[in-house]
Amino acid sequence: MEYQLQTLSNGIRAVHLQTKSKVAHCCVMINAGTRDELKDEHGLAHFIEHVIFKGTRRRKAFHVMSRLEDVGGELNAYTTKEETVVHATFLKRDFSRAVELIADILYQSTFPSRELEREKAVILDEINSYKDSPSELIFDEFEELIYPNHPFGRNILGSKRCLTHFGKNDILRFMERTYNTDQMVFCSVGDIPMKRVMRCLEECFGHIESNNRPYRRTPISDYVALSAEKKKNTFQEHCIVGCATYNLTHPKRIGLHLLNNILGGPGLNSRLNMSLRERKGYAYNVESSYTPFSDTGLFSIYFGSDRANFDKSLSLLHRELNLLRTKQLGILQLSKAKRQLIGQLAIAMENNEALMLNLARSILIYNAFDTFDAISSRIESISSSELLEIANEVFAIDNLSTLIYK
């Protein structure tokens, strides 16, 4: 897999991977998300992701939505703690149409007040629906516990108080401050020559003035383990156990990915799934995750269980963590774990849309993208003693925070 990387004169990076497929994908990934919001801007990054589709100087909202859908394509966007992404899927013949449309909504949106008010109602409904789902809400409140008094701890959807006050000027100020050309990557995957990609980009993005980032993000405070219980009056009790951990450049992050996969990854044979669900039937859903960010990372284990089995489930969870801290993996166990993770990565890379988003994020952060062989080699190099060391650092009892909904 050979990608091609070039940079426009205004600093926007362009990366393209040519593949043999009738379907193509492209996106603009911006290094701006919830953590870039000021205190009175809570939810603004996500709000912008919604309202950039509501009309431009050239198109009304209906024409924005129809531009790709009329030819069978799709246009969408999402917001994370650190990124905003606008992405499209389409037939390769419609590449120019997709690039022009993304440029139009990013740089020519008019944010009509009537559309803003209508979309506020939509997001308020989204916030309310989230509050009705404790298995989702607990993740947001856990992040608040891990990152108190920091933008990272705020949920992505925002607050009702802030949302009702957002107007066009707030949107424009945020975009001017954070949608910086040196913090943007255009990425495409499809059967399209690089010359055509660059020609379209020069036409649609080349005129944008260079706008380098003028600020530094608020640093993450030192992590302190905390525990909390909240009354939710739900049938199940919900729990998250986890901590702040390795960031995107930490040398041990690959090892933690492997440990996480062993513990509670997507495989039905993960230790937590086997222990809590398959053997005991205590929990329908149990999972662990590790998400690294630019200057921090978040490891968490979630499960929901009825009250009669909750304490036993939590005890089994800590038993599995203790085994990883005290018992080194055998040669066959380690080999099996590595093969499983490598296989999952190979399957994931067959999805061209997911590949595009991973490629864009890698260029945004590292300005490089590791091949499958390089990633596999790094996984294969991990030893049992390294995993034991990581487990004792990350899964130490006094390093773990706990949030429980009762």
Residue 221 lies in a domain: no
Mean pLDDT of 183-198: 97
Angstrom distance (rounded) from CA 313 to CA 321: 13
Strand order in the sheet with 3-7: 3-7, 13-18, 184-190, 23-30, 84-91, 74-79
What 3-state class would DSSP assign to 206? Answer: coil
Domain count for the chain, please give it.
2
Give the lowest-confidence range in 79-88, 193-202, 230-239.
230-239
Based on the domain organization, do 231 and 158 belong to the same domain?
A: no
339 plus 259 within the same structural domain: yes
Residues 165 and 247 in one domain: no
Give the mean model confidence (pLDDT) for residues 329-354: 96
pLDDT tens per residue, range 280-314 = 999 999 999 999 999 999 999 999 999 999 999 99
Final residue in a domain of this structure, among 138, 173, 205:
205
For the chain, what is the total number of helices (H) and then of strands (E)? 15, 11
Six-digit token string for 262: 């062993």
Task: Enter the DSSP assignment of 60.
Answer: B
Amino acid letter at 392? N
Evaluate whether 123 touches 47 at the Cβ level (below 8 Å): yes
CATH of the domain at 199: 3.30.830.10
Q: Are 61 and 99 members of one domain?
A: yes
Candidates 174, 152, 205; CA nearest to 51 is 174
Range of the domain at 165: 3-205
pLDDT value, residue 130: 86
Distance CA 401, CA 223 (A): 10
Asked if the structure places residue 212 within a domain, the reply is no
**Residue whose C-alpha is closest to residue 222's, from 142, 295, 140, 325:** 295
Q: Say if 217 falls within a structural domain.
A: no
172 shares a domain with 25: yes
Structure tokens at 28: 């603009």
Average the pLDDT over 347-358 and give the result.
95
Instruction: Determine, yes or no, domain membership for 235.
Output: yes
196, 294: one domain: no
383 and 255 share one domain: yes
Do 180 and 250 sit in the same domain of this protein?
no
Where does a domain end: 149, 175, 205? 205
225 pLDDT above the threshold of 90:
yes
State the pLDDT at residue 71.
97
Could you tell me which residues are beta bridge partners of residue 91? Answer: 23
Q: Is residue 361 part of a domain?
A: yes
pLDDT in tens, 83-100: 999 999 999 999 999 999
Q: What is the dihedral of CA 241, 243, 246, 247, to 10 degrees?
A: 100
| Residue 9 forms part of a structural domain | yes
Q: Are residues 348 and 287 in the same domain?
A: yes
- Please give the model's pTM, rounded to 2 decimal places: 0.94
The confidence band for 233, taking pLDDT boundaries of 50, 70 and 90, is confident
Q: What whole-number distance in Å separates Cα of residue 405 and Cα of residue 240?
A: 9
Task: List beta partners, residue 50.
Answer: none
Average pLDDT of the chain? 96
Q: Output the CA–CA distances (angstroms, integers) from residue 201 to 7, 8, 102, in the order listed.
A: 10, 8, 11
For the beta sheet containing 401-405, the strands, ordered from the edge strand earlier in sequence to the opposite edge, are 227-230, 401-405, 236-245, 297-306, 283-292
DSSP label of 278: I
CA angle 1, 77, 248 (to 5 degrees): 55
Kindly indicate the confidence band of residue 1, based on its pLDDT and cuts at 50, 70 and 90. low
Residues 92, 24: contact at Cβ < 8 Å? Answer: yes
Q: Considering only 131-135, 206-210, 247-251, 390-394, which range has the smallest mean pLDDT? A: 131-135
pLDDT band at 131 (very low <50, low <70, confident <90, very high): confident
**Residue partners of 311: CB distance under 8 A and separation at least 6:** none
Q: What is the mean pLDDT of residues 14-26?
A: 97
Sorting pLDDT into bands at 50, 70 and 90, what band is 234?
confident
* 191-204 per-residue burial string, b: 16 or more CB within 10 A, e: under 16: ebebeebbebbeeb
Q: Does residue 241 sit in the same domain as residue 320?
A: yes
Percent of the chain with pLDDT over 90: 96
Q: At what angle do helices 168-178 and 44-51 cross, to 10 degrees?
A: 100
- Residue 384 domain flag: yes
Angle (nearest 5°) at CA 27 between 118 and 35: 65
Percent pLDDT > 70 in the chain is 100
Q: Is the pLDDT of residue 104 over 80?
A: yes
Let me know whether 71 and 161 are in one domain.
Answer: yes
Q: Which of 256, 251, 394, 261 is nearest to 321 (CA)?
A: 394
Bridging pattern class, strands 184-190 and 13-18: parallel
Kindly report, residue by residue over 386-406, the tens digit of the pLDDT. 999 999 999 999 999 999 999
Read off the tokens for 349: 């890379």
The answer to whether residue 222 is domain-embedded is no
Q: Residue 166: helix, strand or coil by DSSP? A: coil
What pLDDT shows up at residue 9?
97
Estimate the crossing angle of helix 331-348 against helix 372-380, to 10 degrees: 160
Distance, in Å, from the CA atom of 88 to the CA atom of 101, rounded to the nearest integer, reads 10
pLDDT given at position 372: 93
Assess whether 266 and 372 both reside in one domain: yes
3-class secondary structure for 82-111?
A: CCEEEEEEEEHHHHHHHHHHHHHHHHCECC
